[in-house]
Structure 1
Amino acid sequence: MLVAAVLAAGPVAGCTASDGPRDDGRGSPSGSPTGRGGPPVLAVKIDNASAARPQTGVDAADVVYAEQVEGGTSRLIAVYATELPDSVGPVRSARESDLELLHQFDRPVLAYSGAQSKLVPLIERAPLETVTPGSEPDAYTRDPGRSAPHNLYLRPERLMDDPPGAAALTTGFRFGRPPADGEPRNELTVRYPAARFTFTWSGARDRWLVSMDGTPALTARGERLAPATVVVQYVTVRPSGFRDFLGNTTPYTETVGSGEATVLRDGRGYEANWSRPAAEDGTSFTTGAGERMTFARGQVWVVYAETP
């Protein structure tokens, strides 16, 4: 099997609790200085249309990326390292900017369903391993209670015996006590042309409750999606050279470079700066005072918003 061959490159870590990546104090979320060389993370491209909700397995991800796609709507990429859920989905198609985003990981496994024919050669040349219904049909299943294309689900246990471990999360994030600055904040909304994300602080849960398009975002069990840290990362979103079947231009989200960000943790908002010098690098965040921005332990959501 494709993924078995990838995992054979290094030892596989056992499943850990889902309270977030560990941090060694040096910026990599592991005991290794770089986190490179071990088994890869699993990244899954997830549908975020209203007909796809509630999604399955998003709450088990270590990192969730939200990006703009055609028509101003949104899609998610869920990255798994410390826990593998039984099912993830609905799984949808890849985009060109996903390749740059995922380059920060060491040959990640990308599960997706479909891509434009002109994009396929770029995916094949990218430093990642792909898992599609065509390449690994036994890893996917259809939910008969949902209509296509919102009914395709990945079964991660058919790809990996165990999660790769926190060392695979080469994101550049640092976890630890909050910085001294920051302002009390109860809510933040990010708007795309045809979608929006709202994050509301819950002191009772010590988490940020997610709403999408004005509706509470739920797990398959009916619980609220609730990350510990939310990053609104302001980036350049430009037209790519690709279009969907309706003729809408596919946006390209530039995740290499530098810019501003807002980080939400512990009921406070922090104005920060981000930097990612090259595609193979993780993204570092600093406060306005120039200190390294630390995240709360637990799931991290990164929402890419267009620079004002």
Structure 2
Amino acid sequence: MKKIFLVLLIITMAFVGCGKNEEPEEQIDIVEEVPEDVIEEEEEEEIDEFEGMAMNPLTGLYIDEEAANRRPIGIMINNHGGAIPQSGIMQADVFYETVVEGGITRLLALYQDFDSEKIGPIRSARHYFLEYAFDHDAIYVHHGQSPQAQAAFSQLNTPNFNGMTWGGIMNFIDSTRVAPNSTYTSYERLMNTWEETGYRQEISEDLEPKFRFYEEETDLNSDIVANEVTLPFSGNTTYTSNFSYDEDLKLYKRYHRGGQPHIERETEEQLEFKNIIVQYTSTWLIPGDTAGRLDQDLISNGKGYYITNGEAIEITWEKTAHRSATQYYDEEGNELLMNKGKTWIAVFPDNREIILE
């Protein structure tokens, strides 16, 4: 028994001895060093978020720098029943709408950064629409013109693409539509026409901008509610323009022709806008014009409304020369600041009233 105890004691001491002779492993924290050039590269990536981009002068949003520095293109879009739905209008940044002969309205769609394969139908020019194009240093695109517009193109040396002159390059015909609602163009065709005409492509640095934008989304904090906007341009109620504010999107959806959604033909999307400007303007029949064509006093001043985010404020406007941009001012006389996004401008007869609800 003593022998067994002695053997166990020896074995136990041997194990203890082994344990004492083993040195504990040293725990090493591994720190991975990041090269300085990688850190600098990451910092540069954060700073250069908008590298190669510039602000779109029509929306205040960042777009490709080359497109931002190019003159915008203004296309005369037919708004007649036979032209509905129109094509390529979702890519337009700004729309002008005003009345022409017969109490109907016509549209000038302004494009800065676009690639549409089909835009139109394109319609004939009216001379007062030239002033809207001048406001943005835009190339004016049309198919034919009124006698007054033809004279204005010559007198004012207006850069324009006329489909009746450049039709082989600029236009194509949609066989599913009946003339005069069948003439269309595209981004590629417009760029080819631009090369042929030789017009300056860079936007003028001398033109004072028409739009100025808030840095951040801003509410007007106005007492004038504008969730529903109704623009009865004439006694022809078919051409009453309607906008309904979507609180979730914070955008105005456009309706026309008796409350129908204004839809793009190719994408089947409804037009939506961040801003609406109403510019009250003296409008009258041209004496002796047998077609009942109209004129407007645009190198002048007047009143109007700026509408955004379900509210409206009263504004004033002023244009001093053909090639100066119309300027808008708020109630305190400061240059109007707008929210970034697309804008619908209603050049509205000053003897009629809009409805805000």
TM-score by length of 2: 0.70
* Residues 19 and 299, structure 1, Cα contact 8 Å, conserved in 2: no
Give the secondary-structure state (helix, strand or coil) at the position aligned to 1:59: helix
What is the one-letter code of the residue matched to 1:87? K
Residue in 2 that maps onto 1:69: 100
Residue in 2 that maps onto 1:4: none
2: CA distance, partners of 1:286 / 1:53: 35
Match of 2:78 among 39, 47, 52: 47
Give the secondary-structure state (helix, strand or coil) at the position aligned to 1:269: strand
Residue 263 of structure 2 corresponds to residue 218 of structure 1: yes
Rg (Cα) greater in structure: 2
Q: Rate the CA distance shift 1:118–1:128 in 2: closer, same or farther, 3 A.
A: closer
Residue in 2 that maps onto 1:259: 302
Residue in 1 that maps onto 2:249: 205
Q: Which runs of 5+ in 2 are unaligned?
A: 1-51, 195-200, 352-357
Structure with more strand by fraction? 1
Q: Rate the CA distance shift 1:170–1:74 in 2: closer, same or farther, 3 A.
A: farther
Residue in 2 that maps onto 1:10: none
* Residues 18 and 83, structure 1, Cα contact 8 Å, conserved in 2: no
TM-score by length of 1: 0.80
Residue in 2 that maps onto 1:178: 218
Give the secondary-structure state (helix, strand or coil) at the position aligned to 2:316: strand
Match of 1:192 among 224, 233, 241: 233
Residue in 1 that maps onto 2:144: 114
Give the secondary-structure state (helix, strand or coil) at the position aligned to 1:145: coil
Q: Give the Å deviation of 1:18.
A: 8.2
Q: Give the Å deviation of 1:238.
A: 1.8
Q: Give the Å deviation of 1:148.
A: 1.1
Which protein, 1 or 2, shows the higher relative CO under an 8 Å CA cutoff with sep ≥ 6? 1
Q: Rate the CA distance shift 1:287–1:93 in 2: closer, same or farther, 3 A.
A: same
Aligned residues: 280
2: CA distance, partners of 1:196 / 1:15: 38
What is the one-letter code of the residue matched to 2:250? D
Residue in 2 that maps onto 1:279: 322
Encode CA deviations 1:18-56: one digit per residue, 9 max, x unaligned: 8963389xxxxxx9xxx9xx6422111110011111111
What is the one-letter code of the residue matched to 1:60? Q
Q: Rate the CA distance shift 1:285–1:222 in 2: closer, same or farther, 3 A.
A: same
* Residues 201 and 207, structure 1, Cα contact 8 Å, conserved in 2: yes
* Residues 271 and 288, structure 1, Cα contact 8 Å, conserved in 2: yes
Identity %: 22
* Residues 266 and 296, structure 1, Cα contact 8 Å, conserved in 2: no
Q: Which stretches of structure 1, 4 residues or more, deviate above 3 A after TM superposition?
A: 14-20, 116-119, 164-171, 177-181
What is the one-letter code of the residue matched to 2:157? P
What is the one-letter code of the residue matched to 1:121? A
1: CA distance, partners of 2:131 / 2:344: 18
Match of 1:98 among 129, 136, 145: 129
Q: Give the Å deviation of 1:172.
A: 1.2
1: CA distance, partners of 2:53 / 2:288: 39
2: CA distance, partners of 1:47 / 1:240: 21
2: CA distance, partners of 1:271 / 1:226: 22
Encode CA deviations 1:175-231: one digit per residue, 9 max, x unaligned: 115365423321111112222101110112221111112221111222111111111
